Chain A
Amino acid sequence: MSDLAGHVVLVTGGSRGIGRAIALELGAAGATVAVHYRSRAADAAEVVRRIVEQGSEARSFSANVANRAEAAAMVRAAGEWKGRLDGVVTSAGIYHGPALEEVGAEDWEEMFRTDVEGTFRTVQAARPFLDRSDRAAVVTVSSVLGSHAAVGGAPYQMAKAAIEQMTRALALELAPRIRVNSVAPGFIRTDINRTGHEDPAFHALVARSTPLKRWGDPEEVAPSVRFLLSREADWVTGTILGIDGGIALR
Chain B
Amino acid sequence: MGQITLSSVTKVFGDVTVIPPLDLTINDGEFVVFVGPSGCGKSTLLRLIAGLEDTSSGKILIDGQDATDAAPAKRGLAMVFQSYALYPHMSVRKNIAFPLKMAGASVEEQNRKVENAARILNLSSYLERRPGQLSGGQRQRVAIGRAIVREPAAFLFDEPLSNLDAALRVTMRQEISELHQNLKTTMIYVTHDQVEAMTMADKIVVLNAGRIEQVGSPLELYRNPQNLFVAGFIGSPKMNFITGAEAAKHDCATLGVRPEHLDVVEGGPWQGVVGIAEHLGSDTFLRVHVEGIGDLTVRVSGEMGLHHGDRVSLAPQAGKLYRFDANGKAIA
A, B: real partners: no
Which A residues lie at the B interface, using CB under 8 A? none
Chain B residues proximal to chain A, CB less than 8 Å: none
